[in-house]
Amino acid sequence: MRWIVLEDARAVDARTLSLLCGQLAEKPDSAIGYPTGASVSGLYREMQRACAEGALDLTRSWAFQLDDYLGLPLSHPQRFAHMLREQLFYPCGVPEAHIRQFGENPGFSEADGRAYDAAIRARGGLDLLLLGIGANGHVGFNEPGASFAAGTHRVALSRGMRLGAAGAFGSVEAVPRYAATMGLASILEAKKLVLLAMGSAKADAIAAMLTQPPSPDCPASALTAHGDLTVLLDREAAARLPGGIE
Ligand code: GLP
């Protein structure tokens, strides 16, 4: 595991883009896992630009969603599937047949979860999985208390998670009650993990993840057991870590 503290969010985006360009240059048909959210929105704009300029080529790559709400049409603006298509997959020309996402059925079953993990393994596993982190240490929709041994599964969203999303949906009642997420064990199967965190709201979660023993209280701490985890931070997110800026 390594963590790298960079000047600001733009520097985090630039470093992540460079890692991705290297990965895709080495293996053009890489399988990549993608989160959604503020931590990656700047990166996805940079990836669009790099694709337009020919510095990054995703046209032979495979794309897997990290997580998403269930029970909404795939075209709903708050579906992560929709956001990823608009922000990244369409502009960068990822072929439709190469995109694996969670469906519209709110009754995502254990068999559906196993099928999702099997689809990843059928591609030889994720070559690189991008991740964000929640202020309480959640990863994907693996909230505090989540099992480190879980594969992809359905979760009932906590009141706190739904309140956090209420702004985007207009009201807490409009926020779906269920989501699907790669489990922590599925995440740990990826060959490379790259976690991005920016801003002071993430500082406590990052300190708990990187300086405390792994605990279900901080789901992201499960990732520190991975042999190839890179955590890219801006100064604010790294404020409670020992050591300085790169
Ligand atoms: C959300 C998502 C995660 C995301 C995380 C951080 O709830 N379920 O996939 O990585 O929280 O989001 P953000 O980057 O917007 O802070």
Cα 96 to Cα 118: distance, rounded to the nearest angstrom: 19
> What is the per-residue pLDDT for 242?
86
Cα 127 to Cα 30: distance, rounded to the nearest angstrom: 6
Q: Which of 113, 107, 231 is nearest to 182 (CA)?
A: 113
CA of 134 to the centre of ligand 1 (A): 6
CA of 83 to the centre of ligand 1 (A): 13
> What is the per-residue pLDDT for 244?
67
Note the pTM of the prediction, 2 decimals: 0.97
> What is the per-residue pLDDT for 105?
86
Active-site annotation, residues: 67, 136, 138, 143
- Is any ligand 1 atom within 6 A of the Cβ of residue 134? yes
What residue ranges of the chain have pLDDT lower than 50? none
Backbone angles phi, psi at 83, to 5 degrees: -60, -45
CB neighbours (10 Å) of residue 244? 8
> What is the per-residue pLDDT for 106?
87
196 within 8 A of 234, measured Cβ to Cβ: no
Cα 132 to Cα 119: distance, rounded to the nearest angstrom: 22
Which atom of ligand 1 approaches the CA of 164 most closely? Answer: 7
> What is the per-residue pLDDT for 79?
98
5 within 8 A of 233, measured Cβ to Cβ: yes
113 within 8 A of 152, measured Cβ to Cβ: yes
CA of 111 to the centre of ligand 1 (A): 25
CA of 37 to the centre of ligand 1 (A): 5
Which atom of ligand 1 approaches the CA of 202 most closely? Answer: 16
- Is any ligand 1 atom within 6 A of the Cβ of residue 67? yes
- Is any ligand 1 atom within 6 A of the Cβ of residue 132? yes
Backbone angles phi, psi at 214, to 5 degrees: -55, 135
